Structure 1
Amino acid sequence: MEPAIALSGVTKHFGDVRAVDGVDLEIADGEFFSMLGPSGSGKTTVLRLIAGFERPTGGTIRLSGTDVTGAAPFERDVNTVFQDYALFPHMSVLDNVAYGLRVRGVARRERRERALEALAMVRLPDVGDRRPTQLSGGQRQRIALARAIVVKPKVLLLDEPLGALDLKLREQMQVELKQLQRQLGITFVFVTHDQEEALTLSDRIAVFNEGRIVQLGTPRAIYEDPVSPYVASFVGTTNLFDDATSQRVLGVSGSHAIRPERLSLGPADATSNGTGDLVLRAKVVEVIYLGSANRVHVRLEDGTPVVVLEQSSGSLPAPEHRGDEVTVRFARADVVALAGDTEKSGDTQ
């Protein structure tokens, strides 16, 4: 089966700036795919290239096997949901949702039926007569989704659609987006700079940096087995050790990372007890209460800063006071070897 989206050698230059630098990518039909990266990493430009809002400087773009590299946006079977929703304030909600069908020449009765069906899908069946300004931010986001899915595109592109929502509403919309994608069975391509969002929603993630994909894989693979210090630090919180620190702390060469939740704290006189775990002496620098967990900043005897995440329900409670003498314990198997060097030893992002 042809992939829903296939990019081959795609580049995009804006003057002297290489916004996209030789991207090769295939996205399967029915996949929830996320493009993750900081501002300026190229992820949004790739989305705009798929949508047809930008033309590539080089390379080819195929949708379900058809070359659409030079095709206009309206010639592509895709739809886009933007962060600002782009709803028409002078139209009713129902007319907003039905607008794409109207442009396509669908008859009035069918337009209304399909628009009402789309509103029901996003759990807003009773707001059709309202104006967008009469709705909350979360409701407007749902209306934008309904307008996008009512035309039944093969691919739905989402450009940081949850960025303007508060935390609780964003978490709720993440669940609803995933459920909607499963219900529709169409390909979702989601652009975000929020690592938790990408990990929560995606079947696969492409991590972008400087116009390139630096790692591609499942959320678990990217989080548990990052290929570089950049990925390890950008996707979640981690403790990074460069070559010198790795030799000093771990007794091995190369760059390494270990996630804070893989570490545990113990009393100052704790030992490995033959388990093979590494047990390092440290002093507590700061304790941050997070509700379900404590984020404990410690400094090892050699001066290396380390972050430990201790669950509040854990058998070993996190120290409560700065200056406490403790030990940091972890299994060697939880240490991940990385390609490249970190900028500084013990760098924690």
Structure 2
Amino acid sequence: MTDAQPAIRLTGLTKEFGSVTAVDHVDLEIAAGEFFSMLGPSGSGKTTVLRLIAGFEQPSGGTIELFGHDVTKRAPFDRDVNTVFQDYALFPHMNVLDNVAYGLRVRGIGRKERNERAMRALAAVRLEQMAARKPSQLSGGQRQRVALARATVVEPKVLLLDEPLGALDLKLREQMQVELKEIQRELGITFIFVTHDQEEALTLSDRIAVFNDGRIEQLGTPAELYERPGSRFVADFVGTSNLLDDERSLALLGRAGEHSVRPEKMIVGTAEQSGDGVRNAWGTVVEAIYLGSGIRLVVDLDAGTRVTVLEQNDRHRAHDDERGDRVVVSWHDADVVALATVTDAAA
């Protein structure tokens, strides 16, 4: 973080629904111009935090600041933010241009100016040629970009995105992830993105807050969260990890505590690897899953635990492993991550 005024500052933010605490004393700063993601499973509190920032919900405690101004009690229309929802909420009877210009019309902007600004917003998402079409004449990806244009045409300081890619198929979603990041960079607006898709968060974000039970479990860059997860929850939720409990850590690593190793950090062979810090463990292949770009191997180690190994599908593979094969799984100590225990986390 820099010394510049953060776009969003949450202090002790809390939201209770009856006896349920959905958001539990969250402290967070989001920088101006940052693509920030809130990642977590259903019920973790991420969407509630987004709704609190938008003003759609009122907090039970704590404060929300927008560029240094306390907006905790302000109505949604009195906050310089805008929201893009998963269903896009486009008006079916209006053409694309009128949909995008609607927010300007509500603000009393004249027709000539609002149409000019709406066309510039459509150009930013590369859809100016679709201005005369109705939403029903657009693809899912095009409707998503129209929703983005409509949200950004009023020039909000912060754009909130509530799982906006969730309704798209996989191929289109991957394409839109790239386009969304490009649009954010071009506009320079702070994006706050809510998702339960960890790959999507890793692809898009400058930083990510991983939510669990209404709190931020870990905050960091995509690389920090993936390479150095701070807890068992983060290691298991962000990507795939081989988790070793205290007993297995003693047997395989020679030290106590919980640890994790990512599947792509392990290799499978028929002979033990040598070198400083290299660990080897024999086992039996339980499953070999062809993924196209890679091969996922599930191996039951003789030490009494099951691990997953991800190998690249390249010409250097000596042979295809099959169920029942005896193999040795090797990894390097540098790729082993010690996970915080409950006691550590509470300290």
* Superposition deviation, residue 322 in structure 1: 0.5
Paired position in structure 1 for 2:316: 315
Once residues 174 and 333 of structure 1 are traced to their aligned partners in structure 2, the CA distance between those partners, rounded to angstroms, is 32
CA deviation profile, 1:236-260 (whole Å, cap 9, x unmatched): 0110011111112211100000000
Residue number in structure 1 paired with 2:326? 325
Aligned residue in 1 for 2:224: 221
CA apart distance, 1:109? 0.1
User: Could you report, residue by residue, the CA deviation over 1:267-289 in whole angstroms, capped at 9, with x for unpaired residues?
Assistant: 1xx23334431111111100000
In structure 2, relative to structure 1, the CA distance for the partners of 1:317 and 1:215 (3 Å cut) is: farther
SS at the partner of 2:130? Answer: coil
Q: Distance in 2 between matches of 1:327 and 1:243?
A: 22
Q: Give how far 1:317 is off.
A: 4.1
TM-score, structure 2 as length reference: 0.96
Aligned partners of 1:274, 1:181: CA distance in 2, in Å?
Answer: 45
CA distance in 1 between counterparts of 2:86 and 2:200 reads 15
Distance 1:61 1:321 in 2: 55
What runs of 5+ residues in structure 2 fail to find an aligned partner?
343-347
* C-alpha distance in structure 2 between counterparts of 1:12 and 1:275, whole Å: 51
Mapped to 2, the partners of 1:257 and 1:282 lie a distance apart of 18
State whether residues 215 and 227 of structure 1, in contact with CA within 8 Å, keep that contact through their aligned partners in structure 2.
Answer: yes
Deviation at 1:227, TM superposition (A): 0.5
Partner of 2:27: 24
The aligned residue for residue 345 of structure 2 is none
For residues 23 and 139 of structure 2, the distance between their equivalents in structure 1, rounded to whole angstroms, comes to 36
Indicate yes or no: 2:39 matched with 1:36: yes
Provide the residue aligned with 2:199 in structure 1: 196
2:154 is paired with a residue whose SS is: coil
By how many angstroms is 1:302 displaced?
Answer: 2.4
Deviation, 1:319, is: 3.5
Look up the SS of the partner of 2:334 in the other structure.
helix
Structure 1 Cα separation of the partners of residues 210 and 318 of structure 2: 35
1:254-265 correspondence to structure 2 within 5 Å: 254-265=257-268
Against the structure 1 CA distance between its residues 106 and 317, is the aligned structure 2 distance closer, same or farther, given a 3 Å change threshold?
A: farther
Q: Which amino acid aligns with 1:62?
A: E
C-alpha distance in 2 between matches for 1:271 and 1:288: 23
User: What displacement does 1:135 show?
Assistant: 1.1
RMSD: 1.1
Q: Which residue of 1 aligns with 2:289?
A: 288
Question: Given the superposition, is the C-alpha separation of residues 236 and 59 from structure 1 closer, same or farther in structure 2, using an over 3 Å criterion?
Answer: same
Q: How many Å separate the matches in 2 of 1:235 and 1:255?
A: 17
Partner-residue secondary structure (3-state), 1:71: coil
1:314, CA displacement in angstroms? 6.3
Give structure 1 stretches of 5+ with no counterpart. Answer: 342-349
